Amino acid sequence: MDAMIPRIPLGNWIEAGLKWLTTEYSGVTRGIARLTQTGIDGLDDALLAVPEWGLIAVLALICWRLSGWRLALGAVLGMGLIWNMGYWQPMVQTLTLVVIATTVAVLIAMPIGILAALSTRLYRVVMPVLDFMQTMPAFVYLIPAIPFFGIGAVSAIFATVIFSMPPAIRLTILGIRQVPVELIEAADAYGATRIQKLLKVQLPLSLPTIMAGVNQTIMLALSMVVIAAMIGADGLGSEVWRAIQRLRPGDGFEAGIAVVILAMLLDRITQSIRTSGRKKD
């Protein structure tokens, strides 16, 4: 490097910042960690308490109601295969992580998306932040997660939420912004308040787009949950991870196929929620 310009110690600053955060707010992070861990354990236990065939039946019923018998059959065959291969427990653990991570992500993303869609100023701030969140390599989030929340599922969820949130925010903004101006004008002309406009016109009309964002978030969360196995999150990811370490391609593919089955099911289910919402148009 040129001696005239000293190297900018960006990394040191970030580390100092993170260190300060972890020491100053250790109470807060520990609280969040405990709360999240309780949620994870609770959902895990609940799902595992149901007999395998019972959960498969419930899943099939949901698929049948939302989409039809084809998806229901797919759910039964796919889940049956996972059960048969002996990946039932890691599958449930992964499902738990995905459900909790996406719930948190969507709960944060929706209000941010709505506000950013309605305020140009906030939109200008949010967009570059989203670009940052999406392009930063996902592994990087895992590193600070550990000092915050320790090794395990909570850190995995933290990193997953950050990584999977951007599409939900983006598509919420897009959905609301693409509501035709004539309809906004019509709502205004009849004296609708901001809230009435949002609830009666903007949100219902952007629902299909928002659901597409939720779908994307679920898919990203699922891909991240597997990576999160590297910081000790249990689930299908850790099965893959173990197979890599032991050089057992057969085990790796089995666990991988289980991930694919879970991903396809979650994708089809959320998509059919989206299209069944659109049929009313």
Partner 1 sequence: MSDSSSEAIKIKVRNLSKVFGPHPKRALEMRNSGMRRPEIFEQTGQTLALSNISFDVYDGELLVIMGLSGSGKSTLIRCLNRLIEPTEGDVFIDDESITGMTDKQLLDARRRHFSMVFQSFALFPHRTVQQNAEFGLEVRGMSKAERREIARTALEQVGLKGWEDSYPHQLSGGMQQRVGLARALANDGSVLLMDEAFSALDPLIRKDMQQELQELQYHTRKTTIFITHDLDEAINIGDRIILLKDGEIVQQGTPEQILTSPADDYVARFIEGVDMARVLTARSAMRPVRATARDSDGPRTVLRKMSENGLDSIYITSRDRRLHGLVDAAALKSAIQDKKDHITELIDPDVPRVGPDEPLNSLFGMFSERSVPIAVVDGDGRLLGVVVKGAVLDELAKAGDY
- Chain positions contacting partner 1, by CB under 8 A: 180, 182-183, 185-193, 196, 200-201, 204-205, 280-281
Of 4 and 189, which has the nearer Cβ to partner 1? 189
State the nearest-atom distance from the C-beta of 123 to partner 1, in Å: 20
Return the number of the residue (41 or 188) whose C-beta is nearest partner 1: 188
Sorted by sequence, the CB contacts under 8 Å of residue 122 that are 6+ apart come out as 115, 116
Nearer to partner 1 (CB atom), residue 75 or residue 179: 179
Q: Between residues 84 and 119, which has the closer beta carbon with respect to partner 1?
A: 119
φ, ψ (nearest 5 deg) of residue 181: -60, -30
> What is the nearest approach in angstroms of partner 1 to the Cβ of residue 204?
5
Q: Which residues contact 138 (CB under 8 A, 6 or more apart)?
A: 159, 163, 224, 227
Helix (H) or strand (E) holding 159: helix 153-177
Q: Give the nearest distance from C-beta 115 to partner 1 in angstroms.
A: 19
The least distance separating partner 1 from the CB of residue 247, rounded to whole angstroms, comes to: 55
* Nearest residue (CB) to partner 1, 38 versus 276: 276
Count how many Cα atoms sit within 13 Å of the Cα of residue 195 in the half-sphere of its side chain: 0
Element (H, E) at 137: none
Continuous H helices in 198-234 = 203-227
Closest approach of Cβ 210 to partner 1, in Å?
13
**Are 156 and 241 contacting, i.e. CB atoms less than 8 angstroms apart?**
no
User: Tokens for 195?
Assistant: 């809230």
